[in-house]
Amino acid sequence: MTWRVIARRDWRLVRDARLSKVALGGLIAVVSIAAYVYPVVGSEPITTSRFGAFVGGWLGGLLAPIGVLFGYGAIAREHESGALRLALSMPHGRSALVLGRFVGRAGVLGAATVVAMAIAGVLVVYPYGTLQPLRFLAFVLLSVGHGATWVGIGVAASALVATNRRALVLGVVALFVLVIVWDAATAGAEAGLVAAGITDGPIRTVIEVSAQLDPGSAFETLVTALAVSDQGTGTWYDGPTLALPVFVGWLLGPLSVAILRFEWRDLA
């Protein structure tokens, strides 16, 4: 049995779960409503790329809890119930199990994101908007990748602990720190430097770079740079030069750590 078989099975399980249907239905509904409202409240020209700027910030915040919700039970739920030993008795390795669970769950969220974006694209373009296909495709791919990042964080939490409750707590803590605390801490540090009269120098640069290192900031920066406008901000850390490796690092890093930890973990 390969990770692909595990992914297909997990895809069906997650897709058919009632809570998943509610979360995904809510995601599609919210994005569709935003696309319906945008041509009314947005300024001219009405384009799909400017729609990315309109929804990018809060969409990243919406995908984060849904991703953690999808990921946190991937491993820990079966570990707690004792079914994990049976799952590992099948002809596949531990890494294949973790990877398959991640791909299946991230695939469900990604498919729902694509559906939501397809509906949104139609609502933005019809009857007076403009489709900018390459930029809109970039926005869709970045949104799918951002959702997968948070599924990976949830799966990592699930692979690191022994109970479902601990996995949920760890996932929520990661969500709280990376979405709320990180922005608040860097903004507070920057405000403190401004109050102290420090408007330039290495300390200010370190704070501004740190503000771009969380998943949400990397996502928003890439949306602005690749899906909305080609215009740079004048500093390397406010553009894709930093945001792209940070985005890829958050997408692959937590899952890689989870696989390595799970391979050597005592499941007794």
- The full 3-state SS of 196-217, as one line of letters, equals CCCCCCHHHHHHHHHCCCCHHH
What per-residue confidence (pLDDT) applies to 181?
A: 94
Domain membership flag for residue 170 = yes
Structural domain includes residue 186: yes
Residue 237 lies in a domain: yes
Q: Report yes or no on 115 lying in a domain.
A: yes
Q: What is the pLDDT of residue 251?
A: 95
| Full domain range(s) for residue 216 | 3-263
Residue 83 CA to residue 156 CA, distance in Å, equals 19
Report if residue 218 sits inside a domain: yes
Domain count, the chain: 1
The verdict on residue 268 lying in a domain is: no
Task: Decide if 66 contacts 27 (C-beta within 8 A).
Answer: yes
State the maximum Cα–Cα separation within the chain, in Å, rounded to a whole number.
Answer: 63
Q: What is the mean pLDDT of each run of 10 residues along the chain (268 residues)?
A: 83 89 94 92 86 90 95 82 67 82 95 96 89 92 97 93 91 95 90 78 84 93 84 71 94 90 72
Report the pLDDT value the prediction gives residue 41, as an integer from 0 to 100: 87
